[in-house]
Amino acid sequence: MLKEVLLGVLTGAVALTIGILLGHFAIDKGSSVPEWVRDASRDVDESIIEKFLAELDTNQLKENLRELTKVPHMATTSGDEATVDFMLKRWQDPNTGLDSAWREDYKVYLSFPNKTITWFQNNSNEKLFHLREKVYKPDQEDPEVVQPFAAYSPAGNVKGKLVYANQGKMSDYELLNRTLDLRGTIAITRYGGEGRSKKAINAAKFGIVGVLVYTEPYDMNDGLVSESETYPHSWYLPPSGVERGSYNTDFGDLLTPYLAAKDDTYRIPKEDITGIPPIPAQPIGFEDAEGLICELDGDDAPDEWQGSLNCIYKLGGPGFKATSTFSNSNVHLDIYNTERLEYSANVMGIIRGSVEPDRYVIYGNHRDSWVHGAIDPSSGTAVMLEITRVLGKMVKEGKWRPRRSIIFGSWGAEEFGLIGSAEYTEEYFSKLSERTVAYINVDISVFANATLRASASPAAQSVIFTASKQVNAPGTTTTVYENWKQYSNRTSPNYGIIPNVGFLTGAGSDYAAFMHYLGITSMDISYYYDRSKTRARIYPAYHTAYDTFDYASTYIDPGFTSHQAVARTAGNVLLRLADSLLLPFNCSDYTESLEQYLSQAVTAFEEKLAAKGISMESLKKAVQIFRDTATKLDRVIRDSDLAKETPLKARQINDQLMLLDRAFLDPLAFPEQYGFRHVIWASRSSSVPTFPGLADAVEKAESTGLKEDWDQAHKHISIVTQAIAGAAHTLDDVI
């Protein structure tokens, strides 16, 4: 009886308390709704976006780039330290800075040149390659301009007869090996078709002892080879220009895989590093390449191996033709690269969120370059600095604060293998996995000035479209969206003709660790060139001493209006991700991409798999389940007025959207691919644009015919099937 009385009293007290609270908030006091309720239901403010877009200034962008490119700033050099100080000064400015900014150092394994000598010799006749690029402007005379080298190539002194191996693909070496003894030779290869390191890794399997890599004018210069037609007279690469680069396949610090490279972190022995050349490698300019390729003996190279140098490309005897000055001579390759541990800094800055500070939108760009790096990466850094200037000013003046926290990252040592961003994700793995909404990458912000280019998780397609519709395309009367659609489009079953958003299937920039390792919805945004007017695989001065402020301001974006268009588009995306009540992601767009991949897989593989007793029906059903649940969630979102409902409902839906890409992670799916855990967008070697593990497994099984390889194909069907079904379940009701 006493228990019942006490229970009744307690119930009455609770009811009375609730009544008092309801009455308190129901009374009109001029501002009857608590501030936290108003904040929790606040959506993106379009007037703030309009103000932000108007404030982004071309002159500021230009001056940012001028300051960033005053000196070469290869990772960990004095020039790099100067850019660290510059970033901190800007982000700690009392009037336009961020809430806080700091540096975070990692002790990482880097490769540097001492000297490199390459020559071909015949008794008393010898000719040295150019050890430096030709000077056309004062920038190229800077003593800190690093000589062309292949980072992580081993030191060594090798010599051998020369052969021409096209792009250094396995198929290229296999073709050569049919008629030539490649043992003890040196191969000359062109950039493209295969990763830098793989050109040497593949070569070593055939007994080749050294590899040269050059930039083919056909691929980069639209065939132009004359000094009078190239920089400084145009945007094309001059004959002595050499593309530097990192010759490794994995990203992150090579000695601390899956661990942040701090002072006391365990480091594997350097002998255990994989994915770097086992033989010496060296990049050269096409001027030097012509002196080699055009003197080669042997059969004509296949038509698809021919290029724009002034001769018919030969395979090599191996070696040079009898009529050459260098007949019977060897090519000598002397590499003196050294490796050492150096401290490399990330510069970090934040704007704290007002409502959901534990939800992060991350915007990043690497800071280091091979030389001055005006386009790669300083065009992206210039854009990031202008975005932070405008947002910082709005925060300092009390005019705006984002709903969610914004983290800005200026990554270090990206050129050596995406090191700064990878170490950051490894150090803060748990926090970033649990709290990050999205990652926006703007590395090279402006390749040229024709049109927007974007690659992204399909979930982020819609917010990029929304942002690009609010920005005017430079030099036109149309929007960035409409301009983009004219240059690159596809037909969508849901929307009709839309701009083509690429997939983030590789590790080309700092989005890799976020997308592939953490499963964070990511995107990469830039301005690009008109592909109908050039064959250039990238802007021609890429990774050379000619990538300077003069080059960028003369030939890439003279008025800095394309920089501004990228700043406006990427910044608009950033604001929407940071301020929208409901995250502007669309899971049905993911459905469309999965169905596209499924269609490709069925067309390419279903019949072959069926012949081995392997069915694709479970995969088809998983994609259908995903469509059904995505459609259901879309309906819930459409039918909800979240501003009038409990904030917990918005938070629930946002978590489902935020964690969608995380649901596709499988840490055991690709044991041989470092850092790749996303089963939809992992890197693939197959040319079939579909689920990467499945495509690579089927192609390997076809080539070997082994039962165990067909079993692996079956396994990858199960992996991708269960990943898609699992992701679908995260979009469904809680129970």
User: Residue 275: how many CB atoms within 10 A of its CB?
Assistant: 17
Residue 375 · residue 447 · CB < 8 Å = yes
Strands 330-335 and 156-160: antiparallel
Catalytic-labelled residue, pool 194, 414, 415, 427: 414
- 3-state helix, strand, coil split of the chain in percent (to 5) is 40, 15, 40
| Token pair of 113 as six digits | 């040149």
Alpha-carbon Rg of the chain, whole angstroms? Answer: 28
Work out the angle at residue 425's Cα, subtended by the Cα atoms of residues 422 and 428, and round it to the nearest 5 degrees.
145
User: Residue 443: how many CB atoms within 10 A of its CB?
Assistant: 22
Instruction: State the amino acid at position 177 in one-letter form.
Output: N
- Identify the sign of the CA torsion 199, 203, 204, 210: negative
Burial bucket for residue 11 (CB in 10 Å: 0-12, 13-18, 19+): exposed
Q: What is the helix (H) or strand (E) element at residue 128, kind and residue range?
A: strand 125-128
| Token pair of 185 as six digits | 């030779």
Question: What is the distance between the alpha carbons of residues 590 and 631, in angstroms, rounded to a whole number?
Answer: 11
| Cα dihedral value 296, 301, 303, 305, nearest 10 | -80
Instruction: State the amino acid at position 596 in one-letter form.
Output: Q
Q: Does residue 126 have an active-site annotation? A: no
Question: What is the distance between the alpha carbons of residues 105 and 262, in angstroms, rounded to a whole number?
Answer: 8
For residue 366, what are the contacts with CB-CB under 8 A and spacing of at least 6?
377, 380, 410, 411, 412, 413, 414, 415, 418, 420, 421, 443, 509, 510
Residue 564 · residue 58 · CB < 8 Å = yes
- Identify the sign of the CA torsion 527, 531, 537, 541: negative
Q: Which of 734, 479, 727, 486 is nearest to 623 (CA)?
A: 727
Question: What is the distance between the alpha carbons of residues 276 and 197, in angstroms, rounded to a whole number?
Answer: 6
596 to 162, 492, 590, 591, 599: CA distances (angstroms): 45, 10, 10, 9, 5
Residue 147 · residue 113 · CB < 8 Å = yes
Residue 485 · residue 562 · CB < 8 Å = no
Question: What is the distance between the alpha carbons of residues 75 and 65, in angstroms, rounded to a whole number?
Answer: 18
Question: H helices of 224-321, where?
Answer: 286-293
Residue 164 · residue 293 · CB < 8 Å = yes
Rounded to 5 degrees, φ, ψ at 513 are -65, -35
Strands 436-441 and 356-366: parallel
Quote the longest CA-to-CA distance of the chain: 116
Question: What is the distance between the alpha carbons of residues 330 and 347, in angstroms, rounded to a whole number?
Answer: 47
Q: Which of 460, 317, 448, 440 is nearest to 376 (CA)?
A: 448
Beta bridge partners, 338, equal 112
Q: Which of 142, 194, 672 is nearest to 372 (CA)?
A: 142
For residue 645, what are the contacts with CB-CB under 8 A and spacing of at least 6?
none
Q: What is the helix (H) or strand (E) element at residue 420, kind and residue range?
A: helix 419-427
Give me the active site residues, please.
414
